[in-house]
Amino acid sequence: MSHNEDELIKELKELKTNAQLDPQKKESMKMALQKHAKKKRTKSKAKQTFIWFSTAAAILICGVLVYTMINKEQITLPADDNQQNEEIGTAEEDVKEPNNMEGLGVEDSDDNDRNTTLGEEETSDEEVSPPDFKVDRVGEETQTIRIEGTEENTTLYNYLMEPYGIEYKVDQYFNKYAIEGNTVRHHDDQDKYASIRLYVEENEEIEQLATEFQAQYSEEFDTVSEIKEPTDGDNPYSGLTLHANNEQQGYYLYQIEDNVLVIQYENAPAASDGMARLQPLIESIR
């Protein structure tokens, strides 16, 4: 190796030695690197924390939105659905809660209510008289009447029809009577020869009722008289009458204030004195 080469090698070694960092500078560089790494880790950790909080906030917001939507749907359910749900819940409770009083012979109140309602429905189907309508026998008296030209003493029973305050008398021949709805029906002992029905048509006029009765009787009977004022008895009220089938049937109408008293009679052929015994009733109306 030449001298020049040796010098060159020597210079290179010196450069290599001089190129090595001194410890202080090396330590300074190490601390700078550690500080940079620490900042990088801090930034990475902050970034992860931010991502975690962002994710948690997004989940919480979604949860609130879902809860709000479900609650809104429940509030806006139709009333029928809510009622149906309540009824189903009530039915389940009834099944789960047996009657502890059955052993003591006590029934559920619901069964009693149903039985009571059923009894009321059955009662309502029957014909019931108006609560204020009634007829009471309030006395009796003796009177002489004329039967086929012969005078005869008979007993007249006095009656009061409420709530109209109508008083009238009926011959003992019609000593039986019964209330049928808003009508009182007087008849003989065997209820086969003669009967009289009395009732009140409220807020009516006798002319209109007379026309209706005439049309009805004309359809049922071949012989029907004209509508006329009664001549077989006298009382304070304006009246109209009609007879059918040779006076075996007919009616009397009397205007008493705003109402009309209706009297319908039926006589069998064997009851030839029926009209004579009807006259005390016509004359006694007050």
Query: What CATH number has the domain bearing residue 272?
Result: 3.40.1000
Among the candidates 101, 125, 149, a domain finishes at 125
CA of residue 275 relative to chain centroid, distance: 51
115 & 167 share domain: no
What's the pLDDT score for residue 41? 59
142 & 168 share domain: yes
167 & 256 share domain: yes
What's the pLDDT score for residue 248? 84
Domain residue limits at 101: 80-125
Residue 213 located in a structural domain: yes
Q: What's the start-to-end Cα distance of the chain, in Å?
A: 173
What's the pLDDT score for residue 205? 93
What's the pLDDT score for residue 198? 96
Is there a contact between 227 and 239 (Cβ–Cβ < 8 Å)?
A: no
Residue 63 located in a structural domain: no
278 & 141 share domain: yes
What's the pLDDT score for residue 171? 92
The CA-CA-CA angle for residues 241, 264, 169, to 5°, reads 95
Report the half-sphere exposure of 196 (CA within 13 A, side-chain side): 25
How many domains is the chain partitioned into structurally?
3
196 & 232 share domain: yes
121 & 140 share domain: no
97 & 54 share domain: no
147 & 278 share domain: yes
41 & 94 share domain: no
The SS3 of residue 113 is: helix
pLDDT in tens for each of the 286 residues of the chain? 555 566 666 665 665 544 455 566 556 666 765 665 565 556 556 667 667 777 777 788 877 777 777 776 655 544 444 454 444 444 444 444 444 444 444 444 455 554 544 444 444 444 444 468 999 999 999 988 887 778 889 999 999 999 999 999 999 989 899 999 999 999 988 888 889 999 999 999 999 999 999 999 898 888 888 999 888 777 889 999 998 887 788 999 999 999 999 999 988 766 556 677 888 899 999 9
Residue 139 located in a structural domain: yes
142 & 162 share domain: yes
Residue 84 located in a structural domain: yes
Cα separations in angstroms, 197 against 66, 112, 170, 267: 79, 41, 11, 12
Residue 37 located in a structural domain: yes
Cα separations in angstroms, 219 against 113, 187, 211, 245, 250: 49, 25, 13, 12, 13
For residue 47 the two structure tokens come to 């970034």
Residues 8 and 21: their CA atoms lie apart, in Å, by 22
Residues 199 and 256: their CA atoms lie apart, in Å, by 12
DSSP character for 3?
H
CA of residue 144 relative to chain centroid, distance: 58
Residue 67 located in a structural domain: no
Three-class SS string for 172-238? HHHCEEEEECCEEEEECCCCCCEEEEEEEECCCCHHHHHHHHHHHHHHHCCCECCCECCCCCCCCCE
Residue 71 located in a structural domain: no
90 & 142 share domain: no
What's the pLDDT score for residue 144? 87
Nearest CA to 168 out of 176, 160, 177, 178 is that of 160
Backbone angles phi, psi at 279, to 5 degrees: -60, -40
Residues 266 and 244: their CA atoms lie apart, in Å, by 10
205 & 225 share domain: yes
Residue 73 located in a structural domain: no
